[in-house]
A and B are shown apart, each in its own frame.
Chain A
Amino acid sequence: MANDQTPEDRRGFLKRVATGAMAATVPPTMHAQDHPHDHEHQDVPSDPALRTKALESLLVEKGLVDPAALDALVDAYETKIGPRNGARVVARAWVDAAYKQRLLHDGGAAIGELGFRGAQGEHMVVVENGPKVHNLVVCTLCSCYPWPVLGLPPVWYKSAPYRSRAVIDPRGVLREFGLELPSDVEVRVWDSTAEIRYLVLPERPAGTERMTEEELAALVTRDAMVGVAKVRVGEAARPRGGPA
């Protein structure tokens, strides 16, 4: 089909995106502001909810999509695949030195031991935070994120402010999250440019020596596993922003 796509084809694609199918996907206010001389598609639903519904029913009618499969996917990421998974990995590493060693050596295999694997977690690398090293994960080019352990990324992770600044000013970004790092702490940023997905193993906070693995897991936040926060005693009892 597009086996030898030429620059000409790509320009054509761009043009079509700008003028064709995009007419069905760009809100009308944008047309009003940006494209004074189009469009004839006034009957097209403008709201993304309506456009999504129209696309889904079209694909269902054409036999390309099974709505029950969509239900199952939404349910999986709303209720099962979220940062609770990553929190369990972190807590296990904190209480089991041998597991931690395996986790840092082969992240995917060690995470798989706990049953977490799948799309966007095929090649996991776990990076460890310590008193003198702080790791931070970003995807400047899109929104790469380790789904099996953290679920789907929050809006801020996918947003231009985070993607643009995490690499040039990670300390400023951390400050915005309320974390001021001393200058003798080395900051290591991981830009997820390939299919390797990164999980931060946060530092175990002091004063948690007597806690059970389950209690420890409840302390671990999604933000700490992305590297924009530390784990603190007394945080909310579940990772923020994800399935319980």
Chain B
Amino acid sequence: MNGIHDMGGMHGMGPIRHEENEPVFHEAWEGRVYAMNRALGVLGKWNLDASRHGLELLPPAEYLRMSYYERWLARNTELLVQQGLVTREEMETGKPAPESPKASPVLKAAVLTAAAVPAMASSRGSYMRPDAEAKARFKVGQHVRARNMNPVGHTRLPRYARGKRGVIVRHHGIFVFPDTNALFQGEQPQHLYSVRFVARELWGDGAPPHDSVHLDLWDSYLEHS
């Protein structure tokens, strides 16, 4: 979707505020939101792409005004309700409704424990699908054009690269396709490539002649050029 999250190339966002000796979490609640997000992810009711899409669906003005972890809190709240893990009434009262079911045995078995955290932190939950059936339409060195497309759902092809010409510089393998996965329409894995776009192709003649931007793009985002 052409949302506010897709901000590459925008002007007017102000100076970058670099903070010396920045803490990992500025306030304790931020750490709790981060950890809840990880713990809820383990329950398997949604995936990383759906989770990213949840942020994109926040109303633009609120997306910009909220702090990072406020966005996560709003997104997780919405996903919890959407997936039926909590009700809106429970969110509003902060108390489990007397008639509301507690976690099912299946969910209970999936709940993240402290003992499982070190293993989780170091496990490889890969989105790579090397054995999936997928045809690679491109190879390294080929010239391509990023498609001009404007899907209303989730996509990882930013607006600033659409319609632009680039060169495949690396083949990453076969990966879960975020556009479908985010909408619970299946992983539909595709080949993924690193594509180099020269800065002048993206931004015009005012850009430095030798600079470039690389994006990781799925097969169906690209066409031959």
Contact = CB atoms under 8 A, between A and B. Distances in A.
Interface of A: 1-5, 7, 10, 13-14, 16-18, 20-26, 30, 34, 41, 43-45, 48-49, 51-59, 61-66, 68-74, 76-78, 81-82, 115, 117-119, 122-123, 125, 138, 140-143, 148, 151-152, 154-156, 158-168, 170-171, 173, 176-177, 183, 186-196, 240-243
B107 interface: yes
A161 B91 contact: no
Contacts of B64: 160
Nearest to B20: A240
Contact of A62 (B32, B67, B102): B102
Nearest to A41: B92
Contacts, number: 339
Contacts of A81: 121
Contact of B55 (A14, A20, A82, A142): A142
A145 B85 CA distance: 29
9 contacts: A25-B74, A59-B36, A122-B125, A155-B26, A158-B68, A160-B7, A171-B208, A177-B16, A194-B178
Contacts of B52: 141-142
Given A159-B16, A160-B13, A241-B19, A48 B69 contact: yes
A196 B211 contact: no
Given A26-B62, A55-B73, A162-B16, A141 B6 contact: yes
B149 interface: no
Contact of A187 (B26, B127, B211): B211
Contacts of A70: 31-32, 35-36, 39
Given A7-B152, A63-B111, A167 B213 contact: yes
Interface residues of B, number: 117
Contact of B117 (A45, A76, A156, A188): A76
Contact of B172 (A2, A117, A123): A123
Contacts of A152: 24, 34
- When A and B form their complex, which 8 residue pairs have the shortest distance between CB atoms, in order from nearest? A140-B8, A194-B216, A241-B22, A63-B103, A73-B35, A70-B35, A54-B94, A72-B117
A144 B146 CA distance: 21
Given A30-B62, A141-B6, A167-B160, A77 B74 contact: no
A62 B95 CA distance: 9
Given A30-B65, A191-B8, A191-B213, A24 B117 contact: no
B10 A118 contact: no
Given A3-B184, A26-B74, A49-B28, 12 more contacts: A25-B74, A55-B73, A62-B86, A74-B31, A77-B31, A115-B122, A140-B6, A140-B7, A141-B52, A164-B7, A177-B16, A187-B208
Contact of A58 (B86, B158, B218): B86
Contact of B73 (A44, A48, A59, A158): A48
Interface in B88-117: 88, 90-92, 94-96, 100, 102-103, 107-108, 111-114, 116-117
Given A21-B74, A51-B73, A55-B77, A118 B216 contact: no
B40 interface: yes
Nearest to A196: B216
A17 B59 contact: yes
Interface string B1-32: 00001111111011111111111111111011
B164 to A, nearest CB: 12
Nearest to B117: A72
B222 interface: no
B216 A62 contact: no
Contacts of B127: 122-123, 195
B135 interface: no
A190 B117 contact: no
A81 B25 CA distance: 13
Nearest to A223: B18
Given A61-B96, A76-B117, A122-B124, A161 B17 contact: yes
B194 interface: yes
Contacts of A21: 74, 77-78, 81, 88, 91
